[in-house]
Every structure is written in C-alpha cells, then in structure tokens.
C-alpha cells in the first residue's frame, strides 16, 4: 500500500500537448532574420552605407520600445525574443533609404507600442506592426516617404532621386516601362525603391529558405504572387507586364515576409488561399485603378483585418460533429 | 442642493457624453481637427442642448408619447437654425470650417438622447443643469481632442505655431484614422482614471452609466423582486 502511493505520487497528469519541440519564438525569429539577410545585403549594395544606419536605428528603437513598455507596465520581458528586432528590420525594409532617422523612430513607436503592445503584445496584434507603421508614415510624411534615392549603379547625373519603376508606370500607363528598366534589372534589384523591396532575387532566396525550414507555409506567397501574375496577364495581355508586376514594388517582400505573419493570417490552408488571393487582387486593383502607385501594404492590412472572418467561415467541421443546418 | 450639483457635474467626467456614454462620435471625430473647431462645435451644441432641454422639459406633459421623437426634432431643429444663423452672421470663419456639421446637430445623439433620457422625466431647472453639464462635457472632450490632433497634426495650438515650420507634423492626425486613434486613447484614459482603483469584474447594471435611463432597469428591478420572493419562499 505504501509503495503504491509512492508510485502514484510520481505520476504526472497534464493536458495536451505532451510532446514539446525545441522550437520557440526566438528560434523562429532568428530564422526570419537570417532569411532577410540577402535582401539587406542587396539593399546596402544598391543604396550605400546609410542603409546600415537606418536598419540599426530601427532595430534598436523597436527593441528599446518593447523593453521600455514591458518594464513600465511590469510585464514579462519579451525584448529578447527577437520579434521586435524582426519588426525593426521590416520597418527599415519598407521605407526609402534617405528617410530621416527620427521619422523611422516614429514608425517603430507606432509598430511596437501602438499596434503590438496596446493590443496585448506578442501574438495579440490584429494587424501586422511593420505594415501599419509603413502606412502611418506614408500618410503622415508623404514627401519623405516617396523620395526615392537613385541606386548606386544608375548612370551618373546631377539627379539624386528618381521615380520607382511602378511610379513611372503609374504616372503614364501607356509608357513602355521596359525601355527604362528591364525585368532583369528588377529581378536583381538595381532599381529605386524601398530598402528591402528592390531585389526580387534576394527576397526569393530568403523566402525559399523560410519555406525549407518550415517557418512559413508556401500557400500564402504562392497564391499572392500567382494572383498578381494572372491579374496583370489578364488586364495587360503581356507576359512581360505580368513579370514586371511580380518583381516591381513590394510584392515579393510582402508575400514572403509580411503576409505570412502567424498572428494576422488565417490558420487553415483554405483560409490561407483566400488570404493570398485577396492580397493579390487588392494589390492589382490599387495599382491599376487606385490613386497610389503601390498597393501591397494596403492590401495586406485590409486582409489582416478580415482574417478573423476568414477563419470563422473556413472553420473545419469535426468528424462526427453537428451537420450543417442541423440544430444541436 | 447636492443632487443639483451632481446633475451639473456628472456630464464632465463620470457620464461624459463623448468619452463615457460614447454618444456623438460622428461630430466629435469630424470637427475636432483643430482646437478652435472642436470648441466651436462644442459650444454650438451646448447652446442647442440647454435650450432644447428647457423647452422639452416645459412641454413634457403636452407632447403625446407616441409622437415624442418628431416633436423633439422640431424643437431641436428650431434652435439649431437659430445657432446656425448666428454663427453665419458673427463668426463666418467657424461657420465655414464646421460646414455641414452645424445642421447635423439636429440629429446629434447627445441632444436627442438627453431629451429622451432626462428632459422628459425631470423638472425644467434640473433639465437646464443637465444641459449645461452635458454640453460642457461635450465641449471639453472636443476641445481636448482638437488640441491633441492640432498639436500633432499641424504643429499649432489654437492657431499659434508651436513647432510648425521646424519639424514636419504628422498629417495622419488630421485624417480620420488619427481621429479614431486620439478618441480611443482618450476613452481608455478616462476609463482608467475614473475606475477609482477598482477593476471592473462584471458588466452588471450597477456600474453602467446609462442605468438611470435604461429600459432594462425595469427588468432588473423585476429580477431582483423575483429573487427576493424566491429567497423568501
């Protein structure tokens, strides 16, 4: 009898899950940082050393705001889990390299304090922090956010800024943008634009790395990019134009790094497909008929907001559960 | 006297029409792009609110219950027209910047709400005090919202440059998203500081600022009665 009791004392009864993998937030975020390295390297090559300063300021500000908020609100310290660092790098990726540093710091404040922490911190934000920061800055500081420094390999002229390929196309849609920028240049990233969005190639490398490490599901990027491609092909009828729309602007950056955020995207595969297709359609609608040349950030933000609805409508019925239209 | 004082002061913070009762959100967001606009809109609505509260309290025994809402609207619309013509004559700049929102005071939920909730049940003096309190609360909320949005969105305060011209202000505060943001922060702040250090644990009727005007009040009283009877039995 005594013996039996001792055995039971050692029996642990816990609820599922019983198998815990070694993967945690910090490891996921470290992988994302690794995946962003190629795009950052191209950004530094194309826009010069200011990119380093901008990225460092964004990362330090984001982690700093996270640390200060947790300290001030007496919450568990989450500044070390690298998620704020990822947000910081993404903010730097989403702005022109010439952006004044104090504006970038305001962006980090919006992302970390307002979008993430006020809504409950890690895992409870209802929209992507970096995307929201970009849009707040874009609406507030339109001049600084649309002044694009020329890439370092541009032919030497007196001009220091120029339009992005999408900007050229949006200004005059009949113009043959291919004569100004080739799709090849756009693939490699030798064009004007935000720090991290210029090189489709580098972003593709990072995205494939994330898919290979099973950090992100390929569904959303595939549906997003596929929809943009098909939409552009259907509306322009030109294969070159379809490729142009996939490589131009933030489609690659958005599809791999921002539309795949766990918290703000649907959970089930069918929901992810709806999300990706919705992002693609909204992006192209804004690009073709909207007032702005680029619509990736707005499309992701809008789809983030409808994510709870998508999740609700795509919920899977459990086997043996209640049939449709049948009352309990 | 204490009761009269409560009627007068409850509109300032405890039952602030914009920040606690969440009424009149539309004019609050639309006209608070600058402190002067916010205060102007608040004062215009206050004038209408006080006058309509007095008249409706006077007429409360004459107005038939079934058509009371149209009657209130006629009374309110009359005062709004007076205020609109006065603004147009004496402060044309404010009249121009408030624009459509002056005639829209007619359907302002605060004014209609106070007529329905307070003026048709209470004496003329109490209704006037209620109008003053609620109106000042509305003006205060709009003035604070306007000041915050003007400071961050234009770099000025009451039209005087604070940092405008040196640092670029954040234009988003002048747009609808900035309005919603400032509104949300103010509601959160008022909630935080008026909680008196106690955390709300349930949404019971006792804590609801609308309790006195609520139709559920009778249900709640009935429920309490039934419970008491049950306890006796």
Q: What is the ipTM of this complex?
A: 0.78
Contact A106 B171 (CB under 8 A): no
Domain end, chosen from A127, A144, A161, is at A144
Looking at the structure, tell me whether residues A121 and A223 fall in a common domain. Answer: no
Domain end, chosen from A100, A120, A144, is at A144
The better pLDDT of the pair A58, A160 is held by A58
pLDDT-based confidence at residue B197 (cuts at 50, 70, 90): very low
A83 lies in some domain? yes
What span, in angstroms and rounded, lies between the C-alpha atoms of A29 and B108?
Answer: 49
Contact B172 A144 (CB under 8 A): no
What does the mean pLDDT of chain B come to? 85
Domain end, chosen from A97, A116, A144, is at A144
Closest of A113, A250, A135 to residue A189, by C-alpha: A250
A200 lies in some domain? no
Ranges A187-191, B143-147, B154-158, B167-171, most confident: B143-147
pLDDT-based confidence at residue B16 (cuts at 50, 70, 90): confident
Q: How far is A140 from chain B (nearest CA, A)?
A: 4
A297 lies in some domain? yes
A277 lies in some domain? yes
- The helix (run of H) or strand (run of E) holding residue A134 is helix A129-140
Closest of B168, B150, B170 to residue B159, by C-alpha: B150
Span A173-212, pLDDT tens digits: 665 555 566 777 778 878 888 888 888 899 999 999 999 9
Contact B170 A141 (CB under 8 A): yes
Q: How many CB pairs under 8 A join A and B?
A: 20
The better pLDDT of the pair A181, A239 is held by A239
Report, as an integer, the average pLDDT of B168-176. Answer: 89
Looking at the structure, tell me whether residues A234 and A138 fall in a common domain. Answer: no
A166 lies in some domain? no
Task: State the pLDDT at residue B201.
Answer: 52
- Quote the percentage of chain A above a pLDDT of 90: 47
What does the mean pLDDT of chain A come to? 86
Neighboring chain A residues of B171 at a CB cutoff of 8 Å: 139-142
Span B135-153, pLDDT tens digits: 999 999 999 999 999 999 9
The better pLDDT of the pair A162, A201 is held by A201
Ranges A19-28, A108-117, B164-173, most confident: A108-117
pLDDT-based confidence at residue A13 (cuts at 50, 70, 90): confident
Task: State the pLDDT at residue A248.
Answer: 84
Domain count, chain A: 2
Looking at the structure, tell me whether residues A39 and A126 fall in a common domain. Answer: yes
Task: State the pLDDT at residue B135.
Answer: 93
Report, as an integer, the average pLDDT of A14-31. Answer: 84
The better pLDDT of the pair B134, A318 is held by B134
Looking at the structure, tell me whether residues A29 and A139 fall in a common domain. Answer: yes
Q: Residues 65 to 104 of B: which have CB under 8 A from any A CB?
A: none
A86 lies in some domain? yes
A103 lies in some domain? yes
Contact by Cβ (8 Å): A286, A294: yes
Neighboring chain A residues of B192 at a CB cutoff of 8 Å: none
Range(s) of the domain holding residue A252: 217-314
What span, in angstroms and rounded, lies between the C-alpha atoms of A167 and A162?
Answer: 9
A290 lies in some domain? yes
Q: Is the pLDDT of residue A328 over 50?
A: no
């Amino acid at each position: 009898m005594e013996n039996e009791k001792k055995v039971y004392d050692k029996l642990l009864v816990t609820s599922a899950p019983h198998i815990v993998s070694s993967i945690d937030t910090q490891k996921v975020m470290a992988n994302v940082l690794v995946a962003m390295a190629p795009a950052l390297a191209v950004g530094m090559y194309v826009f010069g050393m200011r990119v380093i300063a901008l990225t460092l300021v964004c990362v330090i500000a984001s982690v700093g705001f996270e640390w200060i908020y947790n300290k001030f609100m007496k919450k568990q310290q989450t500044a070390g889990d690298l998620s704020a660092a990822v947000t910081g790098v993404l903010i730097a990726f989403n702005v022109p390299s010439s952006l004044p540093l104090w504006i970038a710091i305001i962006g980090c404040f919006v992302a970390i304090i307002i979008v993430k922490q006020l809504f409950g911190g890690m895992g409870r934000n209802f929209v992507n922090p970096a995307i929201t920061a970009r849009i707040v800055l874009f609406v507030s500081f339109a001049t600084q956010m649309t002044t694009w420094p020329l890439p370092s390999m541009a032919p030497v002229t007196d001009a220091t800024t120029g339009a992005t390929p999408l900007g050229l196309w949006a200004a005059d849609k009949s113009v043959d943008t291919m004569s100004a920028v080739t799709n090849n240049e756009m693939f490699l990233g030798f064009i004007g634009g935000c720090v991290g969005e210029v090189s489709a190639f580098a972003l593709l490398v990072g995205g494939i790395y994330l898919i290979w490490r099973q950090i992100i599901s390929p569904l959303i990027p595939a549906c997003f990019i596929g929809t943009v491609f098909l939409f552009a092909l259907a509306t322009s009828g030109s294969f070159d134009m379809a490729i142009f729309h996939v490589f131009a602007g933030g489609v690659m950056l958005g599809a791999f790094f921002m539309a795949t955020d766990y918290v703000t995207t649907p959970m089930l595969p069918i929901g992810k497909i709806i999300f990706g297709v919705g992002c693609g359609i909204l992006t192209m609608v804004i690009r073709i008929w909207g007032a702005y040349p680029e619509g990736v950030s707005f499309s992701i933000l809008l789809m983030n907001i409808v994510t709870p609805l998508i999740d609700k409508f795509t919920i899977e019925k459990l086997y043996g559960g209640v049939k449709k239209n049948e009352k309990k | 006297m204490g009761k009269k004082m409560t009627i007068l002061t409850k509109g300032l913070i405890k039952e602030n029409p914009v920040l606690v009762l969440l009424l009149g959100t539309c004019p609050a967001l639309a006209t608070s792009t600058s402190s002067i606009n916010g205060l102007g809109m608040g004062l215009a609505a206050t004038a209408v609110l006080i006058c309509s509260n007095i008249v409706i309290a006077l007429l409360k025994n004459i107005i038939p219950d079934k058509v009371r809402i149209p009657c209130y609207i006629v009374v309110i619309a009359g005062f709004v027209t007076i205020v609109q013509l006065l603004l147009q004559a004496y402060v044309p700049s404010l009249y121009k910047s408030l624009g459509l929102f002056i005639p829209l005071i007619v359907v302002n939920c605060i004014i209609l709400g106070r007529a329905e909730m307070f003026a048709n049940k209470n004496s003329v003096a109490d209704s006037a005090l209620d109008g003053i309190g609620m109106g000042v609360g509305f003006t205060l909320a709009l003035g604070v919202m306007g000041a915050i949005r003007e400071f961050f969105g234009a770099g000025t305060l009451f039209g005087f440059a604070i940092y405008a011209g040196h640092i670029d202000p954040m234009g988003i505060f002048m747009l609808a998203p900035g309005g919603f943001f400032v509104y949300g922060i103010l509601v959160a702040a008022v909630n935080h500081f008026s909680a008196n250090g106690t955390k709300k644990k349930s949404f019971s009727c006792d804590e609801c600022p609308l309790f006195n005007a609520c139709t559920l009040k009778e249900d709640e009283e009935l429920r309490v009665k039934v419970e008491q009877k049950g306890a006796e039995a």
